[in-house]
Amino acid sequence: MGRLGSGSPRGANLEARYPCGHVDKANRITQDRFVCRVCGHVDQADHNAALNIAYLGYVKYMTTTHGYWAA
């Protein structure tokens, strides 16, 4: 499984795909089209970025003292 970002939120949103997490600049076919080179998922680029932001926020919440997984 690939990493979910390149260290910057912008990189994670533009190049990664939730849930497979593959990061590759070639995933962005055009300004508004996203196609994952690993799992083949096709999405509108802004929608893909919104999914990544939501997922990263969820993971952060669930791994803090306020989340279910925190012990």
DSSP annotation string for the chain: ---S-SSSHHHHHHH--TTT----GGGEEETTEEE-TTT--EEEHHHHHHHHHHHHHHHHHHTSTTSTT--
pLDDT of residue 32 exceeding 60: yes
Stronger pLDDT, 2 or 21, i.e. the higher one:
21
Stronger pLDDT, 27 or 66, i.e. the higher one:
27
- What is the residue-wise DSSP string for 53-71? HHHHHHHHHHTSTTSTT--
pTM over 0.85: no
Mean pLDDT over the full length of the chain: 75
